[in-house]
Amino acid sequence: MRTTGPTTIWRDIVQYRRVYLLTAVASFGGMLFGWDTGLIGGVLTMDSFKNSFGLDSKKDPAGFANLSGNIVSVLQAGCFFGAMSSFYLSDKLGRKKTLLLADAIFIIGSLVQTLCALGSGDKLPQLYAGRVIGGFGVGLISAVVPTYISENANKEIRGRCIGCMQLFNVTGICLSFFVNYGVNQNISSSDTAQWRVPFALQMLPGTLLFIGMLFQNESPRWLVEKNKIDQARKALATVRSRPVDSLDVKQELDEIVEDFQGHERMPLMHQLSATFSDRKVFYRFAMAVTLMFWQQWTGTNSINYYAPQIFKSVGLAGQSAGLFATGIYGVVKICITALGLMLATEQLGRKWCLIIGGLGQAFAMFYIGVNQAVNPVIAGAPLNGHSTFAIVCVYLFVVFYSLGWGSTPFILSAECAPNHVRALIMAAALMTQWLFNFVIAKLTPIMLAEITYGTFLVFGSACILMVVYTVFCVPETKGVPLESIYMLFEGNIIAGATRDTIPKKARAKFLTNASNIEPDVKGKESGGEHVERVEAPQGKFIT
């Protein structure tokens, strides 16, 4: 386990300053879609917004719940297709140019949302169009940013860097929460500026992303894949803060080139064939997709999109009180995500972050659900102890989510995807995320209205299932060089992943220094299955 302290952290920042700068710039992509995620729930509660679009939550609550789901979830539809296109665009244009293109699309979508409902006629289609356009840019960015960061970051800080996208994401959510609270307090509900300001301000992180990316290097691994070796060497030297002819740069570039031998510029059908015909590569593909599926079924986006309504359902009355509580929720999320990336991702490991996070989330969701079942909220009644703790559990949920399932699925998906099919796997993973983000956004208001407390019991049960999946199916990857992660998927993958649950026996610690590993491939035919064993420095074997 790596030691952590102010001196160590500062040394890391100085040593890997170029990587951290690149990470911070690219992670503004996380902030812009976090902003949209957080703003829409608060905007839907504003009378100014309802008046602009002719919505009435009192006369037709069921219709309003359905329409709210449509307004929120149409963004995810755009995100799904944006993530789908990420494979082709990031492979064809490169990671950097794709991010610039996606950001421009997002800004156009934000402009449409900000300026819609200015004239007469049916106004909702304008809002839907803006959200689909913006969603396309968001989905494209969300798939490319983890890939871009993982292909640039050093193995020592790779998990922390990939997770920074989630840190910026929750920062965007938090800022949008407080913007909603601020405009609700200071702008009249009769003024459409009350809901236009939050939409307009989400263009700020988009602008910062565009400007910052102009000064960043392209992914060295993408350049190698396109056989642009000299450009890859310069890009790698830039991000490592080393001379182009340094031994470190040469050694890492040689490892990347060797890993890509025979895989350069594979067309889509060849990548699909390579993914689905190889059991080990398909497992990594399926794991990335499954992690993103589980991330959405934690229930986190139910709270992100509908936090004011959820706080009301557990007994917190008043629109301003709900918006303020939502803002504090965002602050907690930022703090715990930052602490988790700093103190747990590279120390505790990916696997245990997911296990601890899942168990904590399950407890919080089950308590909220059970409390609502046996202690239903009575309008106008003061909060009792049980309801107060239910509110605390909303914050407890985000503590555990931010520790594990917030950032770790992005980290593992980007790390475990082989270099030559990483764009394809990340596209599939983020398509899954946005598909079920869409499902959750659409279902949550209906579930809260129809099955009430059962909503939280469903999410709590899902959290238990995802912990079981993590124990038996997810390997530990902390500190393993990107080109060596394939070793964790050799032999009996389930047995190896289960073994990784015990830190002292985790295979990753034998693979943290690639230069010390001599792969001793001893082919064994057992029932027709070829088994590879990797000899570790201590004389132990990783099966």
What are 12-51's pLDDT values in tens digits? 788 899 999 999 999 999 998 788 777 887 888 888 998 8
The secondary structure of residue 535, as a DSSP letter, is: E
CA angle 306, 312, 315 (to 5 degrees): 145
pLDDT band with cut points at 50, 70 and 90 for residue 4: low
pLDDT band at 115 (very low <50, low <70, confident <90, very high): very high
Q: Rounded to 5 degrees, what angle do the CA atoms 94, 232, 414 make?
A: 55
Q: Which of 81, 175, 178 is nearest to 131 (CA)?
A: 81
Chain center to CA of 425: 14
539: confidence class by pLDDT, cuts 50, 70, 90? very low
Which of 3-7, 32-36, 181-185: highest mean pLDDT? Answer: 181-185
Q: Is the pLDDT of residue 540 over 80?
A: no
Q: Decide: pTM greater than 0.95.
A: no
Residue 118: the pLDDT is 83
pLDDT of residue 313: 75
Q: Is the pLDDT of residue 199 over 80?
A: yes
Is residue 429 within 8 A of residue 287, CB to CB? The reply is: no
The model's pLDDT over 231-261, given as tens digits with 9 standing for 90+, comes to 999 999 999 999 999 999 999 999 889 878 7
DSSP state of 228: -
**May I ask the CATH class of domain 30-216?**
mainly alpha
Where exactly are the structural domains of the chain? 30-216, 218-263, 267-474, 487-516
Tell me, yes or no, if the two domains 30-216 and 267-474 fold the same way: yes
**122: how many CB neighbours lie within 10 A of its CB?**
9
The full length of the chain comes to 543
Residue 531 scores a pLDDT above 60: no
Would you place residue 538 in the very low, low, confident or very high pLDDT band (cuts 50, 70, 90)? very low
**Confidence (pLDDT) at 529:** 35
Instruction: Tell me the average pLDDT of the chain.
Output: 86
Separation between Cα atoms, residue 403 and residue 337, nearest integer Å = 6
Residue 322: its pLDDT value, please? 67
pLDDT of 370 over the 90 cut? yes
- Indicate the CATH number of 267-474 among 3.20.20.150, 3.90.79.10, 1.10.1040.10, 1.20.1250.20: 1.20.1250.20
pLDDT reported for residue 70: 85
DSSP structure string for 103-161: HHHHHHHHHHHHHTTSSSS--HHHHHHHHHHHHHHHHHHHHHHHHHHHTTS-TTTHHHH
Q: Quick check: 437 pLDDT over 90?
A: no
DSSP symbol at 505: G
Percent of the chain with pLDDT over 90: 54
- Give residue-wise pLDDT tens across range 294-346: 999 998 888 877 777 778 777 776 666 666 777 788 888 899 999 999 889 98
* pLDDT tens figures, 254-296: 988 987 876 555 677 788 888 899 999 999 999 999 999 999 9
Question: Which pLDDT score is estimated for 532?
Answer: 36
Q: How confident is the model at residue 383 (pLDDT cuts 50, 70, 90)?
A: confident
**pLDDT > 60? residue 535:** no
Run of H or E including 271: helix 268-277
As to burial, measured by CB atoms within 10 angstroms (0-12 exposed, 13-18 middle, 19+ buried), residue 401 is buried
